[in-house]
Amino acid sequence: MILELQEAMQMLVIGKQGRDGEMEAMHVGSHLSSILSMIHRPTLVTPLEFKRPESFLIAYDGSPSAYKLVEMAANTPLLQGLPVHLLMVGEEKQGNWDKMQIANTRLQKAGFDTQVAIRQGKVDEAVSMYLEEKRIDLLAMGAYGHSPIRYLVLGSTTTKMIMKANVPLLVVR
């Protein structure tokens, strides 16, 4: 049903858990991953308790799909006026800083107050720590960017972030 309606929607808002969920923060509804992998609209996944965001984080890897997320953030009234953090998880090298600067410049031209950081480690752990450390209220990230075989071997960063994050997650494909 949701897929049939996606042409008429600008964004899907969906709970992290369905009504039969165990109401535990780490539990993810059984249909959520499949919906996120099929829908081609931005999707806001909300945790058990929702509060209006006062800042947001873009998990950015410099890829074309990540830049698409930056463009969406720059152009949506939903996020206007909120401070934005850009976070890349990877090596702190000039090539990564150059990629971050491109995204940072785009967001600043759109009027955003920005902070930029590069952290090392596993993506889900580094992003979770940054969210908590900076007390960020919304995480925006691309979804399911890897092949099905890589997904089976490594799992999905998107699914891990949905499970770990205690803040709403804006997912863009």
Tens of pLDDT, residues 101-144: 999 999 999 999 999 999 999 988 999 999 999 999 999 988 64
pTM for the complete prediction?
Answer: 0.80
Task: Say if CB 47 and CB 162 are below 8 A apart.
Answer: no
Q: What is the pLDDT of residue 66?
A: 87
- Domains located in the chain, CATH noted: 49-172 (3.40.50.620)
Strand, coil or helix: 37: helix
Contact status, residue 63 vs residue 145, Cβ threshold 8 Å = yes
Highest mean predicted confidence (pLDDT) among 32-41, 67-76, 93-102, 149-158: 93-102
pLDDT tens across 19-64, in order? 554 544 444 555 666 777 777 788 888 887 778 899 999 999 998 8
